[in-house]
């Protein structure tokens, strides 16, 4: 008996960018690519001159940028994206890495620490939420990945027993990232990732360069209590009424960072699980999504928040800083 095997090649989508995309309404375009047409044009204008593949590929710049935004915005397989944009799977991977690298290099100014009017506006937002004199909120979340190619891949297995990297994010009262740190192993707790971030180091070396006198960052119990970083009182069953009110108000105010992570993963669903194995590429892709997230907010768009966000490990003990204890008690007395 002779068995004849035949391979059926599925046809690629023809002229998707040239014929289908132009028919999208403004809302449909943003729904699929997350940015408006105007913002996509701005992105192409900024990164276009540095696009290596523009000179070494037959794929037009617009097609490449739209394919990358599409890839980051949903969980369609790389093969599916390749068929949709009439390119190869390897081209999708190659262009995605370059796109994310260029975004983090030339559009990084969209993530900036709040100063001046931006600081004033953020403080007003946190004050309205019940916790005045706050610069921003901090938290960590897990970005699921596949087993990475690195010296110690086991370190990336978190307490939930899946591979991940930790995203430490700082956001203002409007869900805008003002600093991100990505790439530490999923087994690390929040405090360790925070301590090794640029913000963590500056708070140790030159805190007033980030946080003006009398102001603070807010975080949950995963973080150390510092003069510039407020966390809840440890509930040992003997908290005073004021301490309980302090904890309640802090938790209400800091939930904005959880919403920010939810919003990020709602818009850029590729972050539900990044099928990348190189930690540097993973970190670049996540950072690029955070930058694009801020660009989306600049357009004033509201979107439903996905609440299903894996929090990073928060089990680390912390020594008491007496100046921080005094500052927290002074805030507590206001409540």
User: Which pLDDT belongs to residue 79?
Assistant: 95
Instruction: Give the separation between CA 22 and CA 271, rounded to whole angstroms.
Output: 27
**Contact status, residue 230 vs residue 130, Cβ threshold 8 Å:** no
User: Which pLDDT belongs to residue 328?
Assistant: 81
User: Which pLDDT belongs to residue 6?
Assistant: 46
Instruction: Give the separation between CA 58 and CA 6, rounded to whole angstroms.
Output: 30
- Tens of pLDDT, residue by residue over 26-59, are 999 999 999 999 999 999 999 999 987 555 578 8
Question: Residue ranges of the chain with pLDDT lower than 50?
Answer: 1-8, 307
**Contact status, residue 26 vs residue 37, Cβ threshold 8 Å:** yes
User: Which pLDDT belongs to residue 54?
Assistant: 56
**CA-closest candidate to residue 141, choices 98, 119, 114, 171:** 171
- Tens of pLDDT, residue by residue over 305-332, are 554 555 555 555 555 677 778 778 777 7
User: Which pLDDT belongs to residue 237?
Assistant: 85
How many Cβ atoms from other residues are within 10 Å of residue 181's Cβ?
Answer: 22
User: Which pLDDT belongs to residue 296?
Assistant: 95
User: Which pLDDT belongs to residue 333?
Assistant: 72
For the chain, state the CA radius of gyration.
Answer: 22
Count of all residues that appear for the chain in the document: 335
User: Which pLDDT belongs to residue 1?
Assistant: 47
**Contact status, residue 181 vs residue 198, Cβ threshold 8 Å:** yes
User: Which pLDDT belongs to residue 315?
Assistant: 53
Q: Who contacts 63 (Cβ-Cβ below 8 Å, separation ≥6)?
A: 17, 85, 87
User: Which pLDDT belongs to residue 263?
Assistant: 96
């Amino acid at each position: 008996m002779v068995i004849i095997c035949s391979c059926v090649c599925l046809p690629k989508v023809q002229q998707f960018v040239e014929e289908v995309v132009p028919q999208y309404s403004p809302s449909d375009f943003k729904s699929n690519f997350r940015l408006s047409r105007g913002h996509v044009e701005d992105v192409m204008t900024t990164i276009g001159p540095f696009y290596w593949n523009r000179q070494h590929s037959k794929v037009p710049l617009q097609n490449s940028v739209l394919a990358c935004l599409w890839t980051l915005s949903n969980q369609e397989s790389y093969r599916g994206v390749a068929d949709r944009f009439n390119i190869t799977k390897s081209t999708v991977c190659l262009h995605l890495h370059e796109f994310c690298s260029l975004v983090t290099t030339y559009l990084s100014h969209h993530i900036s620490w709040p100063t001046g009017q931006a600081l004033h506006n953020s403080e007003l937002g946190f004050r309205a939420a019940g916790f005045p004199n706050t610069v921003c909120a901090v938290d960590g979340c897990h970005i699921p990945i596949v087993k990475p190619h690195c010296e110690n891949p086991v370190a990336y297995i978190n307490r939930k027993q899946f591979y991940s990297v930790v995203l430490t994010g700082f956001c203002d009262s409007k869900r805008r990232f003002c600093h991100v740190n990505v790439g530490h192993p999923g087994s690390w707790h929040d405090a360790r990732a925070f301590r090794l971030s640029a913000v963590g180091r500056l708070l140790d070396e030159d805190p007033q360069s980030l946080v003006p006198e009398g102001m603070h960052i807010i975080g949950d119990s995963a973080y150390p209590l510092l003069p510039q970083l407020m966390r809840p009182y440890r509930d040992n069953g003997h908290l005073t009424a004021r301490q309980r009110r302090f904890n309640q108000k802090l938790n209400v105010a800091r939930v904005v960072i959880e919403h920010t992570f939810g919003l990020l993963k709602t818009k850029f669903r590729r972050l539900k699980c990044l099928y990348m194995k190189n930690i540097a590429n993973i970190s670049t892709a996540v950072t690029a999504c955070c930058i694009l997230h801020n660009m989306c907010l600049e357009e004033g768009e509201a979107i439903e928040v996905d609440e299903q966000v894996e929090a990073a490990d928060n089990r680390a003990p912390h020594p008491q800083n007496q100046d921080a204890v005094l500052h927290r008690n002074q805030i507590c007395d206001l409540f």
